[in-house]
Structure 1
Amino acid sequence: MDWMVSGSGSMELAGKRVRAALGRAGICPQNSKQEGDGATPTGRYALRRILYRADRMTPPESALPSRPIRTDDGWCDDPLDAAYNRPVRLPYAASHETLFREDGLYDLILVLGHNDDPPVAGAGSAIFLHCKRGDYEPTEGCVALDPADVKWLLSKAKPGDDLVIEA
């Protein structure tokens, strides 16, 4: 099944339309995505796995593989590093994101298959579907939903499903 995200800031979830936050720079074509540009790349992305804060919630109901986020989980965003666009253990010398955050954005993360098979240096990293900030404030390039909508999506998602981001 395909999960559709529109550049207008909405997502279609099995016939249910919900609001979505996108990158601060809007939508860009997948082949022009650059590290740090703040754009959400168009394209079709496999739903890889779920990461969640076990100290804040129970494991989400889903057919997708999942695991708790640990305090030392990070994600490399340094295009010059061999672990670019891959999970890393903190502390990590190269530039990275910390996944165990206090702001709630990453309490529930759906890892998408963007630039990961294999990663191309500089073509964008850590493109996730995660929880929204405030009143759907822009992301750094991810798709963000209300936490209830993330949970609902995950309850319907299964291996082989894709997230499709359209302009």
Structure 2
Amino acid sequence: MNGKRVKKKSFRKQKPGTISRLQVVSRPGCPTRGLVLAPGFAAPVALGRGGIRHDKREGDGATPAGTWHPLELRWRADHGRRPASGLPLRRTRPDDLWCDAPAHGRYNRPVRAPFGPSHEEMWRPDRLYDLVLVLDHNQRPRRAQRGSAVFVHLAREGFEPTAGCIAFRRADLMRLLPRIGPRTALVVG
């Protein structure tokens, strides 16, 4: 050494049993339905009404192709116990919203009610957002019109298409959550 201190980069290690990569593919002939695949795991999912697209646009209903990472897990405490997860957890509150107004400074960010610009309600009566994985899609850098509120959440009966998210059966998502960490890559397409 030349007398200078060398700062080593720290890398967060994955917990044993954590999945490093989840692959999301659409089913042949049915672009709004897909499969999530990982070692020892496969589950059906609903995809966006626009299928999987590489050129995601706000309001197109497409699930964005790419590699995304989960940032946090939100859950409705009044609809179930705290889920097991290696992700930061946040309880969803009745005033939680998500800004989907491209011209607003809080675009693709959480906001609180009351909020006048266009937004997604996180406290939903249909239970789709009882469990929500917030993904890093269009987070850094955020670009207007490139899509907002792209989450992993619970599916409707019959796996009806989403507005661009990836939706699981509750049992499948609950089985997967303990094996997902911040470094898990969700590869779509």
TM-score by length of 1: 0.96
The aligned runs of 1:40-51 (5 Å cut-off) are: 40-51=63-74
1:108 to 113, 117, 131: 131
1:5 equivalent in structure 2 = 24
- The structural deviation recorded for 1:92 is 0.5
Q: Which runs of 4+ in 1 moved over 4 A?
A: none
1:18 to 33, 43, 61: 43
1:80 maps to 2:106: no
Aligned residue-pair number: 164
- The structural deviation recorded for 1:13 is 3.6
Tell me: higher relative CO, structure 1 or 2? Use CA pairs within 8 A at least 6 residues apart: 1
2:117 equivalent in structure 1 = 94
Most deviating of 136-145 and 3-12: 3-12
- The structural deviation recorded for 1:14 is 3.1
Task: Percent identity, please.
Answer: 46
For each residue in 1:95-147, what CA deviation from the matched residue of structure 2 results, as whole angstroms up to 9, or x when unmatched?
Answer: 00000001010000001110001210000000000000011000000000001
Please, what is the CA RMSD of the aligned residues?
Answer: 0.8
**Matches of 1:14 and 1:151 in 2, distance apart?**
16
1:62 equivalent in structure 2 = 85
SS in structure 1 opposite 2:158?
A: coil
**Matches of 2:47 and 2:142 in 1, distance apart?**
22
SS in structure 2 opposite 1:152?
A: helix
Most deviating of 137-146 and 153-162: 153-162
Structure 2: stretches of 5+ with no match in the other structure: 1-19, 28-33
**Matches of 2:182 and 2:146 in 1, distance apart?**
25
TM-score by length of 2: 0.85
Which protein shows a greater Rg? 2
